[in-house]
Amino acid sequence: MNYDVADLSLASTGARRIDWAERRMPVLRSIRERFEKEQPLAGLTVGACLHVTAETANLMRVLRAGGAEVALCASNPLSTQDDVAAALVADGIPTFSIRGEDDDTYYRHIDAVLDMAPDITMDDGADLATLLHTQRTDLNPIGSTEETTTGVIRLRAMAADGTLRLPVVAVNDSDTKHLFDNRYGTGQSAMDGIIRATNMLMAGATVAVIGYGDCGRGVAMRAEGMGAKVVVVEVDPIRALAAAMDGHRVLTADDAARVADVVITVTGNKHVLRRQHFDQMKDGVVLANAGHFDVEIDLEVLGEMARDRRPVRNNLEEYELADGRRVLVVAEGRLVNLGAAEGHPADVMDMSFANQALAAEWLAQRAGQLEPGIYTLPVELDREVARIKLDSMGAGLEELTEEQKSYLAGWREGT
């Protein structure tokens, strides 16, 4: 079997972590039981480019239980859990990822997955899909799935200019994905990453969150819960207003830069923090990024502005500016929750990856029948994922009475 991981001797530690995650993924477990019986992916190869974590390992197991051959590479050079990668290889799953790999290795690993001519590709950030439209036009998969907001935006841009040649399921757009993974997953794990890297007390600190989408809202909520004074920066007036009414102070990035002790970017946009902001920041400010790509903080310019740079803790680098102020950057400006912590908890990846598994099945059932385009999974599947999750949490779900159903469906009563 072909593979490339850091150290196979880590496999038993990785296997323990995969098993622990599985215990907290009841929806995925129920899909696995059904897949074992029904074999919806029999004869297909699934090539995945996802963060190589214990939760992803469970998704790989489920796809294999459904009859697929699977191969996995990383969707970020800094998010791989090397013990998990080793455990996957020990379990017979071709895995290509090493934490901290350089750009050449990163793309070599993506190529290795594409070399297996996958029938379905799974992305977190559209790396496989992009290559399928540039260097690997020789391959013709049934379709692809996309995990994250930034990937969906890139794919929609391809669809808009008529380049997209595949059907793609935007898993991010399922409610049981973005309303939970992006909000509660990113909210908790981004704060977790910053705290692991700095061990700083959030109570009383001013935390600026740039971008108040699903993710930013979660980060702001958790920072506030820890006692931080939260400042939000937005370009969208509706979202800025929502932040204000959620109780946060809404400022421009310039004003936020002056008051913040911690700044977290989570916009999916480029150079959200740049020279004009670095110029105004307080000594000792901590910068972290939770958006998909490492382009949100202009680290090239920060490097040019620095007269010295040094690592001060694991995943924390200090830039000393010409005037003596120090700016601390967590996890090289890459996804802070994966670079400096363990990514989202399994409890929430349960729903995201349930949607991934269902998306693979949905594509397999429609092989050759779908036009190129961006698809969202049917709402019944979303509701089913939510139902199973609620059930596993011991929650009760009220049902409409027949009288209520007809009241809601009519208009005469009450007039």
Q: Nearer Cβ to ligand NAI, position 64 or 248?
A: 248
Which position's Cβ is nearest ligand NAI?
213
CB of 401 to ligand NAI, least distance (A): 36
The footprint of ligand NAI (CB under 6 A) covers 148-150, 178, 182, 186, 210-216, 233-236, 239, 266-269, 272, 290-292, 335, 337
CB of 23 to ligand NAI, least distance (A): 21
Q: Nearer Cβ to ligand NAI, position 340 or 358?
A: 340
The C-alpha atoms of residue 17 and residue 4 are separated, in whole angstroms, by 20
Q: Nearer Cβ to ligand NAI, position 89 or 170?
A: 170
CB of 44 to ligand NAI, least distance (A): 27
CB of 187 to ligand NAI, least distance (A): 10
Q: Nearer Cβ to ligand NAI, position 32 or 183?
A: 183
CB of 341 to ligand NAI, least distance (A): 10
The C-alpha atoms of residue 357 and residue 337 are separated, in whole angstroms, by 23
Q: Nearer Cβ to ligand NAI, position 109 or 292?
A: 292
CB of 193 to ligand NAI, least distance (A): 9
Q: Nearer Cβ to ligand NAI, position 119 or 123?
A: 123
